[in-house]
Amino acid sequence: MKNKLASIALSIFLASCVFGQQQPSRDVSRETARSSQEWVKDAVIYQIWERAYSQKGDFNSITADLDRIKTLGVDVLWLMPVHPVGQVKKKGSVGSPYAVRDYYGVNPDYGTPADLKRLVAEAHKRNLKVIIDVVLNHTAWDNKLITEHPEFYKKNEKGEIVPPVPDWADVAGLDYSRPELRRYIIDNLKSWIRDYDLDGFRCDVALFIPTDFWEEARAEVDKVKPNTIWLAEAEKPDLLVKAFDVDYAWNMHSTLTEVLQGAKPASALRKLWEEQLATNAKGALRMRFSDNHDERRAIARFGEKGALAGQALAFTLDGLPLVYNGMEVGDTAESGAPALFERLPIFWQFAERRPEFPRFYKSMIALRKSSAALRRGSVVWVRNSDESRVLTFARRSGSEELVVAINMSNAPFFGSVEVAGQFEEITPNIGNPMPPDDEKASAGKAAGNGLPTLSLDGFGFRIFRRKM
């Protein structure tokens, strides 16, 4: 919807001022998260921005590229909103995809309902799941519900329909105290699953909508098609108990940004992870990411090496990693606001200029798929000699143990890691900038284990597997 990294906290505050305090999340630290399907727990999510994906910006261009996407190794395709875009009070030249004009419609700029159905069917043939982005907290001002059901909307003291947050002027807020609205939305969700054979939903600003609605909606949709995946754009622990399989690790993303930009030490990431482990339900699944449609490209924010370091953490820490289309070729297009409201295609030719990027993504996804420890293993933090700059942690599952080291700064690191035993290095060889090749690093390798001494380039990472 907008740059949430910069404004989500303010937006929540403003929304509470307009509509009253947001429903607080109850303490779920002693509860167990929803039991998701095994394929959900192992998934890598691939986000697709239809308008930006190709020069045509249509469904058929995505369908034609499914073999490449499959080769990348991802599992779930997340299509950003497929609905017609509102034109009243629109932002930019073409409007926001998060201003939905028709909940039952398909954006004609992207193609026809038949084109979308073919995209889903062809994805399924390749064992790829497909979810769509649903925007249920608000609508465009030219959505027919404005005139047909004005009672569905939030209103001010004058009885005027208002935005959910004052600076979201292009949309009108919905009122989930209305049972009729709840029924309309649930029927709509069921129709998308039934008519398009979708595999779930990504739910925009899910924290603005009461948890009990989401729980009701999930139960109803599960009757149409069980074993789907629901992703909440929220960081509200009670949503993961019954309603959602996965949520956004927004605070981790925010902290990652501050660390990579030098505003916080690397240890802040470990501290936050430990705090969230204590407050989330047992087994809660979080989506890890360094880039998405709400942000300037990671390369623009962190540089090439920093962008790879950030995504290395997303691939190796617990949770489900997200790949936003174009990351895998090192695209530098400004894909957040205002480009979210314009036409700005991905420059796929960057793959030739930055070959380390496609090699990194393919190899890291392949490594994750081959390793139960990376997909589902426990996280055990490992001490090192400079935790202000370097993250070191182990992933353990059964007899498999991996140790991951990521330099979150642009200065080289040479120091010690508090781990015992013999390890072999399995860092994917993607070319520059990794793996390091200085004399100290070579000396560490010659010692026969790569650990406990460790050398890392600026923003470099290395992965080791314990020798059995």
Helix axis angle, 250-260 relative to 267-279, nearest 10°? 170
Residues 129 and 223 in one domain: yes
The mean pLDDT of 361-387, rounded to a whole number, is: 97
Residues 390 and 448 in one domain: yes
Preceding amide of 452 cis, omega within 30 = yes
- pLDDT score, position 271: 98
Residues 411 and 361 in one domain: no
Query: Do residues 323 and 287 make contact, with C-beta atoms less than 8 angstroms apart?
Result: no
d(C-alpha 205, C-alpha 12), whole Å: 10
User: CA nearest 323: which of 333, 334, 311?
Assistant: 311
403: CATH: 2.60.40.1180
Residues 349 and 400 in one domain: no
Q: How far is CA 219 from the centre of its chain?
A: 24
Residues 414 and 270 in one domain: no
User: CA nearest 77: which of 310, 244, 323?
Assistant: 323
DSSP structure string for 299-365 = HHHHHHHHHHHHHHHHHHSSSEEEEETTGGGT-----STTGGGS-----TTHHHH-THHHHHHHHHH
The tokens for 299 are 């390369």
d(C-alpha 177, C-alpha 446), whole Å: 66
Residues 45 and 134 in one domain: yes
235-249 residue pLDDT tens: 999 999 999 999 999
Looking only at the bridges linking them, the beta strands covering 400-407 and 390-397 are: antiparallel
Query: What length is written for the chain?
Result: 468
Would you say residue 440 has pLDDT above 80?
A: no
d(C-alpha 114, C-alpha 116), whole Å: 5
d(C-alpha 338, C-alpha 342), whole Å: 7
Predicted model pTM = 0.93
Residues 450 and 349 in one domain: no
pLDDT-derived band at 339 (thresholds 50, 70, 90) equals confident
Q: Which of 313, 347, 370 is the last residue of a domain?
A: 370
- pLDDT score, position 7: 47
The mean pLDDT of 259-267, rounded to a whole number, is: 98
Would you say residue 439 has pLDDT above 60?
A: no
Task: Give the structural domain span for 385.
Answer: 379-466
Residues 441 and 292 in one domain: no
- For the chain, the average pLDDT equals 91
Residues 397 and 302 in one domain: no
- pLDDT score, position 137: 98
Q: Which of 319, 338, 370 is the last residue of a domain?
A: 370
Query: Do residues 95 and 87 make contact, with C-beta atoms less than 8 angstroms apart?
Result: yes
Residues 310 and 397 in one domain: no
Identify the DSSP state of 155.
Answer: B
d(C-alpha 5, C-alpha 191), whole Å: 33
Residues 10 and 106 in one domain: yes
User: CA nearest 208: which of 158, 135, 100?
Assistant: 135
Share of the chain above pLDDT 90, in %: 84
9-67 residue pLDDT tens: 444 434 433 333 356 678 999 999 999 999 999 999 999 999 999 999 999 999 999 99
- pLDDT score, position 432: 56
Q: Which of 317, 342, 370 is the last residue of a domain?
A: 370
d(C-alpha 36, C-alpha 245), whole Å: 6
Residues 312 and 455 in one domain: no
**Looking at the 3D structure of the chain, how many domains does it have?**
2
d(C-alpha 437, C-alpha 433), whole Å: 10
d(C-alpha 333, C-alpha 168), whole Å: 24
DSSP H/E element including 375: helix 372-376
319: CATH: 3.20.20.80
Query: Do residues 77 and 129 make contact, with C-beta atoms less than 8 angstroms apart?
Result: yes
Preceding amide of 166 cis, omega within 30 = no
